[in-house]
Structures are given as C-alpha cells and as structure tokens.
Structure 1
Amino acid sequence: MSNDYVPSPTDWVRTQVEAIEASGTTEAASIQGRQVVLLTMTGARTGATRKVPLMRVEHDGVYAAVGSRGGAPTDPQWVRNLDAEPHLTLLDGTLSSDRVARRISGDEYATWWSRAVDAFPPYADYVRTASAAGRTIPLFLLEEEPGDTAP
C-alpha cells in the first residue's frame, strides 16, 4: 500500500479518521454511539491510500465490512476499492492487522448479516431501503493475511 493518503471528501469520514489518527485508537470515533474500526486500503481508480471508519462487526477474530451507505441506492466507494484490491490494514482500538477482504454470499452472507444487525440494528432498516432501490448491500469478510510459511 502506498503512503500517499488522500483524505475523504466526505466531512464526517475525514473528521473521524483525523480523530482516530490523532489519538492512535478507534475509540476516538463512533457511529451512532457504537464502536468502529478503521480500514486503510488502496483506491481503485487512483491507487492512493484511502481510509474509512466502519461499524465494528467481529466474530472469532474475523471482521465484516458492511457496504450499507445508510441504505442508499449505490454502494460506497470503498466497495470498489476492496473489489479491485482486497489487501488492507484494519485498526480495532490500538490493534492493527493486515487483512484480505472477501465478498460473501449465500448462507455465509445470511450468517454474517445476522451478526451485522446484532452489532448495529439500523442495518435492518438499511437493507429494506437498499432492496427497494434494487441493491443488495455488499458484505465482505476481513480475514487475517496468511503468514509467511517459509522455514
């Protein structure tokens, strides 16, 4: 990932990223009073470093990234970023880890969607709004990068 970070044009995203970076922890930001994680990824079009705070959805060390955009009719930009380049860095509190994003579907999606709604109940309303616009909310699992297996 390059070091040429380009701040988000969206005020609330930029403000939250600045607060997290100034404090060194994701505890400096929240969405509707709930914990967030910070994803650092590569921009699909520019190749620049992009950062976005997302709702914290975690189970057994695996995280989910929910592309809800509040139920809007289009996906957030970061979805295209992860589709183009799935390697990212996740910050949860002060713990940073390299991850690989994997878009999920089917039964796996249903299981993780339930976990996402448990973590952030407004997702239940967002899915209805997005569905009415003909959009399925993207859901990615953020799994740890495989370690170097060389001896």
Structure 2
Amino acid sequence: MTDLLEGKYEPSTQQWVRDQVDLYESTGGKEGWHLRDREDWPIVVITSVGAKSGALRKNPVMRVEHDGAYLAVASMGGAPQHPVWYHNFLANPVVQVQDGPEPGLYKARLIDGPEYDEWWDRAVGVYEPYAEYKPRAEAAGRTIPLFVLEPVD
C-alpha cells in the first residue's frame, strides 16, 4: 500500500496505538479492525500530517460512517485537553482514512450546531462510552470537538 499523504511516518509513542495500526495496515483491515476485544467497536485508521513536525501520524479512531463520510471524535476519554491529532486536523485538514484494504483522502471539517448533535448521536450509537466522556470534558470546561471527514474528489 502506498501512502496518499507525503511525509515521513513517525509511529505513536503509545505501544497499543502502534500495535493496532500495524496489525490493521498489515492485514488490510482484516485484523485489528476493532477496539480491544470488542467486535462491536469497529475502528478506522486515520493518517494526518503533524501540525508542528510535518510528520505523518496514524491513529485508530472509532468507525462512525454515514453516507460515505466519517466522523472523528476528539474525545480523549473526556480529558481536559484535546488529542494531538485535533491540532493536526486544524492545521492540515486533508487526511487519509483507511476503512478496509484501501485508503482514501478526506477533508476534515469541524462541526457545530444541529449537525454536531446529529453526528454525536451517531457516535454514541457506535461507541457508548462517548456518553460518559461528554460530561467529564464539560466539567473540565471543554466541548468534545467533532470533525466530519468528507471524500476529496
């Protein structure tokens, strides 16, 4: 498989992320396509360009898909800060999504209002723990950002 984005890949500092991405990519998504041992929690691998480093970063993200678009939930488990990839998406909104054997290019768009509410409901429908993360983030003064990823023509 050839990366669609240019840059040097720098693997995550977190071992579980490296392992998940490696397994997913090496099997074309036939293995490693779900979070932990939960087959009802599917993931995709999103590659973004580092906001500061310019390096390629790969993250397993819950698979929330609707009409060919994907959602990236910057929940970080409800932590007070955004995940690093949130800043990557803002600085470099063209990302690569791999959902199965072939990756594609998508443009990340931060959403709010009624569109946020619709996508939030979809996200919780796929991954119930998001419902627990939201009050944690809000208690820390943070709204969990949502990015819709739409195909680049």
Fold conserved between structures, TM > 0.5: yes
CA offset at residue 3 of structure 1? 3.5
Partner AA of 1:5 in structure 2? Y
Partner in structure 1 of residue 22 of structure 2: 18
Q: CA RMSD in A?
A: 1.2
5+ residue gaps in structure 2? none
Q: Relative to total residues, which structure has the larger strand share, 1 or 2?
A: 1
- Comparing 26-35 with 38-47, greater Cα deviation is found at 26-35
5+ residue gaps in structure 1? none
Matched residues, percent identical?
47
C-alpha distance in structure 2 between counterparts of 1:132 and 1:95, whole Å: 39
Would you say how many aligned residue pairs link Structure 1 and Structure 2?
A: 146
Partner in structure 1 of residue 8 of structure 2: 4
Partner in structure 2 of residue 92 of structure 1: 99
- Comparing 32-41 with 96-105, greater Cα deviation is found at 32-41
Q: Could you tell me whether the CA contact under 8 Å between 2:74 and 2:86 is conserved in 1?
A: yes
Query: What's the TM-score once normalised by structure 2's chain length?
Result: 0.91
Query: What's the TM-score once normalised by structure 1's chain length?
Result: 0.92
Q: Could you tell me whether the CA contact under 8 Å between 2:7 and 2:54 is conserved in 1?
A: no
C-alpha distance in structure 2 between counterparts of 1:135 and 1:43, whole Å: 22
Partner AA of 2:70 in structure 1? Y
Large movers: runs of 4+ above 6 Å: none
C-alpha distance in structure 1 between counterparts of 2:94 and 2:57, whole Å: 12
Q: Could you tell me whether the CA contact under 8 Å between 1:26 and 1:36 is conserved in 2?
A: no
1:144 aligns with 2:151: yes
